Structure 1
């Protein structure tokens, strides 16, 4: 995974079951931050249908990511939550700074130590303040689990506690995707990392597995955890899996973000990954996190 308006368009429910009334996010409208500077520049270079597609993409509620590139994470988070509150919507934030982020992969980095990480999480929490926000906690951190597992579990558990100190912060601990770690094993990792104190777990962040596959996997993980809720990143899963995970060709954007999924126990479909941001220097892509307009257009054209 790599970092990184109008009200969202609700996805067509894939089940007739209503969303449970006690779902943490039920009925909330999600914040659309608009285009990043790179996306706005790219859009200005296109005309006609392509410009319209990029403009449409920029208007979909998508997560804002925070990590080692966020020089003042408190102010950066405060800017987002303040803008969201002013529009009557709730932002989705990605927290991505655990030590050994991406385990040396394309998005390698992260805090220098557990103590530095805790300070960083506190800074993020200070930026959120008493506002309402959804936070996807550390994509990949449990699926990759490099280094000392016990230390990583402890860091994630502490991060959830810090973020959850604000009643308006809804945390979802990342749990990879259906093809990565077996459901029972992932449930054990989530439990060790303190998911019981979170609102639930997150699936498919920056990945392309189908929503149906994530629903099946998520329900198995949820059952092993006694009924934990979860959210699914549908940003690029419209055509399901391709070849490999890194900038796979022929993919499409998926269901629009919504907190009314029609699926019991599924709190939201989210766009956590910003469609069009590169996974890394693979399959012709630029550096991780760089907006790649041709890839973005391909995702929109293929929907």
Structure 2
């Protein structure tokens, strides 16, 4: 899976800027496009009942399987990375439709830009601009008029082929020989602008572009790229995708990028001439590693708003979503002088899950904390500049990007900032299909210490399956999700006691139920 690499940090000189000496009456910065009422503190984020984490869990056993199922119970983004326009439309339609049936909002990651990740660990993507535009149109058609969050192209603005930042004299490190240096960067912005236009034309889609993170681009640099990519038509930007920067730093950075966008895109005459390069950042006047200096950048923005006569209004400015999937312990600091290329972004050891996904952030500039990166999936085979095949930090060979990494999943759970509760229920699943007839039994056991009253048991029947009859519970079905409510005569399930829910269904079952929730919390499944 992709990652945002902190090894491509700009020189801090590029972040330096002088204060504006503009004078004007009190004017209000242009309001941002609203997030289409998709995200508010009461929004329910969708748990994907056919997620890649569940696909991995199907091939695991023991504690590794338990870890994967526990992680699968948390709302996590679903990545779309390939396929024809028709294929991706069908896949997105299935996800968004399943979420709508649950009254929840899914997070869709579109990750198919030509030369994504500069053809490194997560190489792939569309062949050219036309193919990408058609693919994005397929994503948009799959969403339609239903609610969705779209994380548009992780690393899409952090790694741009043949791109020369404003103020630089030569292109950045990503220089594919297959691409024309004269047009490659412009093509990337054309691709992203088309994607923004196609997705924001939908009535209930919140769209966010790549804002990198606090250990990478300066505020002014990323703001300039966001503007070129069409952020003025989008809902905002996402930060920290597949990375480890701490939430409190990301919140400060998000506010600064929002401020920089407001100042740089204002149409008020008093702000004429204000450019992103004038914005303060984590690099200047602040020092990136000394949080005590970050107030200096806050003060710099205060001065710039005062000088332009604009009024900061972060509720109306562009907003951000943050990836907290693996940032509970912050970024890894490699030992000095040990590895030629430490690859600190690549499966770093001893990291932990961050804060759980939520739209109730209490911060006017942060629309949501999301799990964008799928925790437990590998970043790639990390050699730290030593040639491999082993990861010298771990002494083992890491799985390829996107494959399950049991050791890392266990670390993330053990060192979580907001620990996931151990299951207090167990379910033995027995599902059999023959000639389109599906018979199933789920034996539920209360393994906790408290009586569970009036319980709900939820599980999914992936595929085209319709429940026709059930016993042991009052059963209803919404899409692929089946809910069994406690019968009146067995409303209480005491510790150590068991109860069986059975059903008869017809259709084509794609996979056995793996994720089972009791009152919204995961059970151990066998």
Taking structure 1 as the reference length, the TM-score comes to: 0.89
Measured in 2, the distance between the counterparts of 1:230 and 1:87 equals 25
The answer to which structure, 1 or 2, has the higher relative contact order (CA under 8 A, 6+ apart) is: 1
Number of equivalent positions = 282
How far is 1:54 from its partner?
A: 2.9
How far is 1:2 from its partner?
A: 3.5
Measured in 2, the distance between the counterparts of 1:203 and 1:69 equals 26
The residue number in structure 2 matching 1:230 is 320
The residue number in structure 2 matching 1:301 is 414
1:190 equivalenced with 2:223 (yes/no):
no
Q: Is the 8 A contact 1:38 1:291 kept in 2?
A: no
How far is 1:72 from its partner?
A: 1.2
Measured in 2, the distance between the counterparts of 1:78 and 1:121 equals 13
The residue number in structure 2 matching 1:13 is none
3-state SS in 2 of match to 1:117: helix
Measured in 2, the distance between the counterparts of 1:113 and 1:249 equals 37
How far is 1:151 from its partner?
A: 1.6
3-state SS in 1 of match to 2:376: coil
Matches within 5 A, 1:246-261: 246-261=346-361
The residue number in structure 2 matching 1:40 is 57
Q: Determine which structure has more spread, i.e. the larger CA radius of gyration.
A: 2
Q: Is the 8 A contact 1:2 1:278 kept in 2?
A: no
3-state SS in 2 of match to 1:181: coil
Q: Which of 204, 216, 228 matches 2:252?
A: 216
The residue number in structure 2 matching 1:6 is none
Measured in 1, the distance between the counterparts of 2:227 and 2:157 equals 11
Measured in 2, the distance between the counterparts of 1:292 and 1:78 equals 29
Q: Which of 45, 65, 71 matches 1:57?
A: 71
Please tell me the root mean square deviation across aligned C-alpha atoms, in Å. 1.7
- Per-residue CA deviations over 1:113-134 (Å, capped at 9, x if unaligned) read 1011000000111111111100
1:140 equivalenced with 2:155 (yes/no):
yes
The residue number in structure 2 matching 1:10 is none
How far is 1:240 from its partner?
A: 0.3
Measured in 1, the distance between the counterparts of 2:62 and 2:363 equals 38
Structure with more of its chain in strand, by fraction: 2
Q: Which of 213, 216, 222 matches 1:177?
A: 213
Taking structure 2 as the reference length, the TM-score comes to: 0.52
Matches within 5 A, 1:198-213: 198-213=234-249
3-state SS in 2 of match to 1:75: helix
Structure with more of its chain in helix, by fraction: 1
1:99 equivalenced with 2:114 (yes/no):
yes
How far is 1:296 from its partner?
A: 0.8
- Per-residue CA deviations over 1:147-178 (Å, capped at 9, x if unaligned) read 42222112101101001111111100011111
